[in-house]
Every structure is written in structure tokens, then in C-alpha cells.
Structure 1
């Protein structure tokens, strides 16, 4: 398996509130998009992923299903962010999205809270592995707007679920098989909030060079008007 990653402020934001985790020894690949308060978004996203890494490291050699390890680690991350926000008035209300993948052999376990995403590209087809916890996703599900309209909806950044807001959080967990030739993309909404998924799939399939591909995706997000931080992890299953 090969991988690469990129994270940057983007053309508008002064501070990068995204964070990423790449721990191949744990099989962990994750992104987080922080929010809330003065210098708090970056604190929330970094803290969440640091706690998740620590927890999964403790459980690495335990006979425990991947989904249970991931669920427990994210609950611990949620508690850490929640308590950190309560201890500092300037950080009250801070939170973060999280999308984390545990890759083991030819299986990926995906956990998601918020609107960061995991996407799978296979034989030219792109499929979303997560469901956004956002207002526009609820509107899409209810038939009120289309996927295309969601990209320009004025409330597209409103989340219905985030890490660190409450003492406990509901975590969506999925398990998928992966195969040789697959591409696994994990990213924040600085990319998927602006570039249609079909276009993302086209760019990923353009080149076998993963480094080149993530820079192409970054440039495309900016060209499509992204005003957010942009964080991407791209894995190739060989």
C-alpha cells in the first residue's frame, strides 16, 4: 500500500484548523476539521487525533474487533475535546469533525462524525463510504435539494453532529472490503464542499503518481472557489 497527504490553509483562511493522522504502523489514516472559538479549531482537531492515535496504540495488540477499537478511541477523543473546551472560556464551543480509517489487510473500517469524508475509487467509479452529518445532507435525504445544489447552499457548513460538543457522541462506523487497484481518499470539506465527487474521481484516475494527484485535487478545489482549509490523504491499494 502507498499513500500521500497534504494539508494547507487554502487561499482565504489565515490559520489551518484541519489536522491529519497518518500512522501506518497502526493502519490509521484520519482527518479532522476543527471549529469554534479563538485559536480553538486547530486545538480541537489536533487533540482529537492525538488522543485517537494514543488509544489505538494501547489497543494495537488486543484481540478486539477493529470497529470496537475505533469506536472506543473516538469516544475518548470526544471526551478529551469536550473537557478541554470546558476548562478554557476562550475554547468554549470548540469541536471538530473526524473521519478515520483503519486499514488491515484487504479491509477498511471507517468511522465518521461530521462532514469530512472517505471515498473509494474502483475501476473508474467513485463511491462515498461515509454519510455527512450536516444540514444540507438532511435536505438532500429529504429531497429538498440535489447534490449539485448542496455545493452552493448558503448553509452547507452547518453540522448536525460534531466531536467535543457533548460528553458522548454518536459515531457512524462502516466496514468495507478493498482490492488491488483501489484508491481510498479521506478529506475535509475544503475539497468535497466545492468539487463534485465525479470530478474528484476523474482527477484521481488521471495519474498513478499519488503526490501529483493530491496537488491536482488541491488546485481544483481552489479553482472551484474553496475558501476553506484543504486536507487530503490518498491511499493506493497495491
Structure 2
């Protein structure tokens, strides 16, 4: 699910969901550049993910995410070169990728990935923000983080800099029955974790996603809101065919710079 919210004029979140991948990118920048950055990086990662070989080597997931992110970064550079008013545009990226035996998280920025197992919610990603740094270094109490005036200052993102460190690549402890959430801060900033856990554990994945979106909008919807809910199931199925659902800024091909042959279609869950 993705929604522009009650305050913003444009949806600068981009999302994608398919049987083996769930992704959210939250763009920033002027001159409509946020949605271009998010869609460009999302499309590049989707292209890499949908080109996965059925018989993947142990490190293929990490390689796929690294290659996709690098290609997205190149797209941002080209977009800035084409229009210098886009200078400074960037995007977060949080993606979960599965090859049938492993799940890997690729993450940079302050969008988040969570896992809920047996009713217990755990944040899998680490926020790359100034406030998270203060909390980790003991300079700020965790309870005060949500009220800090600089809580949305992001220290790392995909911003077109070829010297950038790239995304964190983290193997995920995953088991059949686990449910995962990938979301932009338009959800996590407005809905407390205890409510997130309650809503995420409710009913089928699509109902949980709708409930989470509704909660963020009811809490003010002051930012774009995107959430992808994924259930890990143990079953045999066909190899990934590249067909999935695009969300937010990724629904407009004009937002994507040099996307390559991204074989994606808009499904019924895509929204404004």
C-alpha cells in the first residue's frame, strides 16, 4: 500500500512487491527530484532482483542488491547532470530479497524493515539518522528520540555519489511463518511500535497493510506512507518471473532515469 498522505502534494515514496522481493524507497530533494531519486533506485534494484538466476550461489542475494543499488546511484547522477536543479536529491532504500533458501536485507537511510514472529516485533534495519547515532552512542535516551527536533536528519542515503558506502547488506534470520514489514518513515514516525505489532499481526497480509496505512493516516498522515507486508511461506513454486506490483512514484515511468528492461506491471494493490 502507498498513499500521498494528507499534507504532501506528491508521493515521493516508491515501492515494489513480488513473491521474492519487497522494497520501499523514500526520496528527498527539490524540483520533484525526490520521486525521481526513489523511483530510479527502486527500478534499478527491481531490475537486478528480477534477473536472479533460479540456482543462486550463496552470495548472489548480496551481489544482486549491490549491483542494483550501484545502477540506481548512476541513474541519480545522470538525472542531476541533466537538470542541475536536482542537485542534492537522494533516497532511502530498504529491501528484503529471498532466493528460496535465504533472506537478505539491503538498507540505507531511515525507512525500516521489521519482522514479527510469535507476536514479537523486531526492527531488522538500523536507522542511519543523527538521532539514532545519538541513541547508539549513549548521548540521548531512546525514549526521547521520537521528540528530538533533528529526528529526520538522515546521515546516509543513495545520493549519486560514486564514493558512497552503499547499502548495508544483512542476512536475515527467517523461518516459515514469519511476517515482515518494509515501510517508509511516514508510517514508523506516526504509529508506535506496540500498535505496529498489533496491526501487523492482524489477518492476511493485505488486510494488515491496509490497517497500517489507515493508522498512519488517522495519526495525521503528514508524510507519504508506504508499507509492504510479506509472509514467508514454505512451498514450491515457479522461479521469479519479474511480475509484481509497483507503488507510489514507481507507478509513473517518467520518474525513472535509465531504468533498463524492468519487467513489472501495476497490480490491484497500487495506489495514489
Structure 1 counterpart of 2:246: none
Aligned pairs for 1:62-211 (under 5 A) are 63=57, 65-170=60-165, 171-205=167-201, 207-211=202-206
1:233 equivalenced with 2:220 (yes/no): no
In 1, Cα distance between equivalents of 2:83 and 2:2: 27
In 2, Cα distance between equivalents of 1:85 and 1:123: 46
1:52 equivalenced with 2:42 (yes/no): no
Structure 2 counterpart of 1:37: 30
In 1, Cα distance between equivalents of 2:152 and 2:221: 12
Displacement of 1:209 in angstroms is 2.3
Displacement of 1:153 in angstroms is 1.9
Displacement of 1:236 in angstroms is 1.4
* Partner secondary structure for residue 218 of structure 1: helix
In 2, Cα distance between equivalents of 1:152 and 1:222: 19
In 2, Cα distance between equivalents of 1:135 and 1:42: 23
With 76-85 and 110-119 compared, the bigger mean Cα shift is at 76-85
Encode CA deviations 1:153-205: one digit per residue, 9 max, x unaligned.
Answer: 21111110110241232221101231222110000000112222222112112
CA RMSD of aligned residues (A): 1.8
Structure 2 counterpart of 1:13: 8
Structure 2 counterpart of 1:3: none
* Partner secondary structure for residue 52 of structure 1: helix
Name structure 2 gaps, 5 residues minimum.
Answer: 234-272
Encode CA deviations 1:36-83: one digit per residue, 9 max, x unaligned.
Answer: 011111111111111112233344356452112211211221121123
Name structure 1 gaps, 5 residues minimum.
Answer: 1-5
Q: Tell me the matched-pair count.
A: 230
The runs of at least 4 aligned residues of structure 1 exceeding 6 Å deviation read none
With 142-151 and 213-222 compared, the bigger mean Cα shift is at 142-151
In 2, Cα distance between equivalents of 1:81 and 1:11: 28
Displacement of 1:211 in angstroms is 2.1
1:216 equivalenced with 2:196 (yes/no): no
Greater relative contact order (Cα < 8 A, sep 6+): 2
Displacement of 1:92 in angstroms is 1.2
TM-score scaled by structure 1?
Answer: 0.89
Displacement of 1:90 in angstroms is 2.1
Contact 2:22 2:230 in 1 (8 A): no
Displacement of 1:120 in angstroms is 0.4
